[in-house]
Amino acid sequence: MPVASSRKRNREGTSIFRAATTASRRSAGHDKTALVRALAHTSMNVDIGNALSSVASPGISRAGLERIDEQVAVAHERIERGMADGEHGYEALNLPEKTDPDEIRTAVEPVADCETLVTVGIGGSALGAATIVDALEAQGDGTETVFLDNVDPAWVSRRLEGLTLSETAINVVSRSGMTAETLANFLVVREAFDSAGVDWTERTIVTTGESGPLRELADRHDLPSLAVPDGVPGRYAALSAVGLVAAAVCDLDIEAILEGAAAERKSLTGSLFECPAYAYGATAYALDGRGAAVNAMMPYAESLETFAEWFAQLWAESLGKDDLGQTPVRALGVTDQHSQLQLYRAGPSDKLVTFVTPQAHEDRPIPDTDVDSLAYLGDGTLGELLEAEFSATEASLAAAGQPNVRIELERIDAAELGGLLYGMEAACVLAGELYGVNTFEQPAVEWAKNATRGLLGGGEFEEADAVEAKTELRIER
Ligand SMILES: O=P(O)(O)OC[C@H]1O[C@H](O)[C@H](O)[C@@H](O)[C@@H]1O
């Protein structure tokens, strides 16, 4: 039987976490000062101590933090104004108050008892939902989930194979209602239902904008539908129907997700020293400016692997413009300790590593063994091993002077996840203000979308001409 474990305690009640941290300080050869802000109403905390210039290079000094904090105050005012006016993009930060979980629950009722939910969407219209469902899988009702967010034909076929379509529901999500991949996959799924003699109109729920082809289709077939709220770009829509329909079908606590996000919203203040989300956004921005052009997101929880993908979209698509931006990389603790960590510790000092660590988690004892050299494992649990590995990795980077930041969650549950998603969105919006970019547009992505449509005969798009103009230097045998 799994037992509860907390990062702070081992079986004897001593603080292994603290011991490991002390060891890391010692090995780093300095006094690491953790800038941890514990807020009563939210539990996402951020420790930027290992990003200080006294620890790492690149790093930021305390004086540097104070200077950036003046910019944070200005940015915060801009963000609050945007939220109050419901401006495009900023409106996303109002979702915890504006999303109606009852409306979502009512809309999913006709398909709530499905065995499998196939979500058809891409980018922001898939990753938020996938992040929530994957992170909270253990708390759901066992509904199998499939996310069709690619058009690789073999992969799509494999995903659909073996599904009992009479027990399967379709969740189509597209803000624009026009995205080629999503509409093509939807047509494929519909045809599969038709071929199996299952009425897809009885088993489909649509989330889309107020107008567009998908909206017309939903109206024509009288499908249950939800709206992507105005002013909310896809990658900021996880806390709307875009991210929560799949969660509701899986019977996850979407109310708690929104409550956690609402608590995080209350933590937004005009100072990074008071606000973990802004502390993260400002530190990442500051370190990028000092040479950390890469941000490796490394959660220490398998269930947060998809979160790293979601974060990568958020960070890349929001900040990558005007020759600016920090490249997000997806990593996973402990798995990537045995691969990427070599580069993070001993490679160029151009990275910030961001850890996400739940403080408490389900645990499982490691069985005793009669092999003497493995006896130390038999005394512990998988959770303790995970914690020790995290502490060791964090220390290994700090000791090598490589900057890293720790985002701490109490545990992985609906409220904590809601807070994490909201906090990272707020961090990204703040970073966008500090960079001075248009956080909520993605013209480079639109360019490729236009080129694709042009190639497929979906209209006249000059971007398609670039395909013909490709420079070739082929090496053949
Ligand atoms: O929701 P949709 O309109 O189908 O868009 C899906 C995705 O399309 C594009 O690639 C955008 O850059 C993404 O931000 C968006 O999430």
Q: Is 404 in the pocket of ligand 1 (CB under 6 A)?
A: no
Query: Cβ(305)–Cβ(134) under 8 Å?
Result: yes
22-71+259-435 and 98-252 share one fold: yes
110 C-beta neighbours (distance < 10 Å), count: 15
What pLDDT, in 10s, does the model give residues 23-58? 333 333 333 344 433 333 457 999 999 999 999 999
Residue with tokens 């104004």: 81
The rounded distance, in Å, linking the Cα atoms of 346 and 402 is: 9
Query: Cβ(65)–Cβ(405) under 8 Å?
Result: no
Query: Cβ(224)–Cβ(205) under 8 Å?
Result: yes
pLDDT of residue 217 exceeding 80: yes
Alpha-carbon Rg for the chain, nearest whole angstrom, is 23
- The CATH code belonging to domain 22-71+259-435 is 3.40.50.10490
Tell whether the torsion through CA atoms of 68, 73, 76 and 82 is positive or negative.
negative
Distance 298 CA to ligand 1 centre (A): 25
63 C-beta neighbours (distance < 10 Å), count: 9
Distance 234 CA to ligand 1 centre (A): 6
Residue with tokens 């930041």: 405
For the segment 221-237, the average pLDDT, to the nearest whole number, is 96
Q: What is the pLDDT of residue 458?
A: 86
Q: What is the pLDDT of residue 375?
A: 85
For the segment 141-154, the average pLDDT, to the nearest whole number, is 98
The rounded distance, in Å, linking the Cα atoms of 171 and 132 is: 15
Q: What is the pLDDT of residue 59?
A: 98
- The CATH code belonging to domain 98-252 is 3.40.50.10490
| Of 149, 35, 97, 32, nearest in space to 395 by CA | 32
pLDDT of residue 274 exceeding 70: yes
The rounded distance, in Å, linking the Cα atoms of 235 and 314 is: 6
- As for the ipTM of the complex, it is 0.97
Q: Is 126 in the pocket of ligand 1 (CB under 6 A)?
A: no
Comparing 191-200, 269-278, 342-351, 438-447, which segment has the lowest mean pLDDT? 438-447
Mutate to test the pocket of ligand 1, among 120, 125, 217, 449 (most ligand atoms within 8 A of CB): 125
Q: Give Dmax (Cα) for the chain.
A: 72
pLDDT of residue 17 exceeding 60: no
Distance 311 CA to ligand 1 centre (A): 15
Residues labelled catalytic: 317, 338, 449
- Stated as kind and residue range, the H or E segment containing 314 is helix 305-319
Number of alpha carbons in the 13 Å side-chain half-sphere of residue 288 = 24
Mutate to test the pocket of ligand 1, among 175, 181, 319, 439 (most ligand atoms within 8 A of CB): 175
Q: CA torsion, points 171, 101, 139, 420, in degrees to nearest 10?
A: 100
Q: Which residues contact 196 (CB under 8 A, 6 or more apart)?
A: 165, 166
Q: What is the pLDDT of residue 421?
A: 98
What is the pLDDT confidence band of residue 3, given thresholds at 50, 70 and 90? Answer: very low
For the segment 383-390, the average pLDDT, to the nearest whole number, is 96
Q: What is the pLDDT of residue 468?
A: 84
Q: Is 381 in the pocket of ligand 1 (CB under 6 A)?
A: no
Q: Quote the mean pLDDT of the chain.
A: 91
Per the rule left: phi > 0, alpha: psi between -120 and 50, beta: everything else, 363 is beta
The reported pTM is 0.91
Q: What is the pLDDT of residue 19?
A: 28
Phi, psi of 318 (to 5 degrees): -80, -40
Going from N- to C-terminal start, the domains of the chain cover: 22-71+259-435, 98-252
Atom of ligand 1 nearest to the CA of 449: 10
- Stated as kind and residue range, the H or E segment containing 75 is helix 62-84
